[in-house]
Structures are given as structure tokens and as C-alpha cells.
Amino acid sequence: MEYYELHPVTPQLRYINKAVEVLKNGGIIIYPTDTVYGLGCDIFNKEALETLFSIKHDSGTKLMSFVCSDLKDISNYAKVSDYAYRTMKRLLPGPYTFILPAAKEVPKKLWSKRKTVGIRVPNHQIALTLVKELGNPIISTSVTNRMGEVLSDPNEIKHIFASQVDLMLEAGPLNGKSSSIIDLSDEVPEVIREGAGDISMFE
């Protein structure tokens, strides 16, 4: 596994570009977000998606979110109502995952049974730069151990995933608290998971 330490605010572009190259070649990476480390691949690479499901011991039944670079980017991959747009504009970038109706461009493997997808715009310069340089979303699923516990120590993550992942971008220990999940697919918002981020506007 290639391993690079990046500055969280002004990340070195040469390391970002190495990660982008890995993604374009169907590889799997670990990268920091504003909540936890994410395990990811290019959203449009089917083989990489299957590899990712295998690493997570998941047959594709769980909703995996993906990272977009900004609000404008989201509308290419999900159907966004006026209410959803106003809500996300207030909170993004930030530690939230929003569930929205899927657009046709998104691989059906990532759709839930309700034809929805989870979308993130994290407030972390490495993740956002990564997506912008790649030119399309990357998958974001939390880095966990076999018990499903979120891992926040980069050294522990490196030890566990060294033989499974192609590259890791490291930015120090993260807070270890997952994003709040808000369902905006219907007219009435629903808090699916309370995590990082203020959810008082939905209560």
C-alpha cells in the first residue's frame, strides 16, 4: 500500500494526484473526511465497487454514500427538490450524509431498495480536492474493523488494511464520529442517524 501524509488544510497536490491515478486505474484508497476515514473507489468502476464490497464484507445490501465536490455536483447524481437544496445549502460542506432520490447516472449497485442514494460534501480539503481532481464522485464508506467499529488511528488503519488497499492519504487522527444521516427523499425530512453535526433544525 502506498502511504502519504498530507496537510489537512493545504494538501500536497502531488499526493492527491497519485490517489486520483489509483482511482482511475480501478484501485481502492483510504482518505480523510471531516468525520472519519473513508474507504473509497471511483463510483463508475464496477470492478472496484465489487472489490470494495468484498473488503467491507458486504454484498451490496447496505447504503454506501459517495462524495461530491459541491452542491452543483450533487444535482448530476440525485434529484434535488427546492427544499432539499435549501437545506443542504445551509449545512454543506459539513458532517452530513443526505439521502436523495437517485439519478440515472448513478450505478444501480449503489441504489437502495427505495431507489435512493446517500450523498456527502465533507468539510475537508483533502476529500474535496480529491473529488475535484478525479472529476466525478468517489465512494465513501467508513473505515471499520471486522466488528464494525470505526477506526480513527491512522497507524491502526494502515496495519489492518495494508494488504487490501492500494493507497492511503493520512491527515492525522480523526474524531471517530460518523456523519449524521438525513433523509430528504420525501417532503418531510427524517433523521436516520444522529452523528457529527447539528441536527436541531430537523427536530
Structure confidence by residue, pLDDT tens digits, 26-57: 999 999 999 999 999 999 999 999 999 888 87
Contact 154, 38 (CB under 8 A): no
d(CA 100, CA 122): 16
Query: Residue 34, CB half-sphere, CA atoms under 13 Å: how many?
Result: 20
Render pLDDT for 164-196 as a digit per residue (tens, 0 to 9): 999 999 999 988 788 999 999 988 999 999 999
Render pLDDT for 107-163 as a digit per residue (tens, 0 to 9): 888 887 789 999 999 999 999 999 999 999 999 899 988 888 888 899 999 999 999
What pTM value is reported for the model? Answer: 0.92
d(CA 49, CA 106): 12
- Residue-level pLDDT at 58: 65
Residue recorded with cell 460534501: 121
Between 30 and 202, name the one with better pLDDT: 30
Domains and CATH numbers, the chain: 2-196 (3.90.870.10)
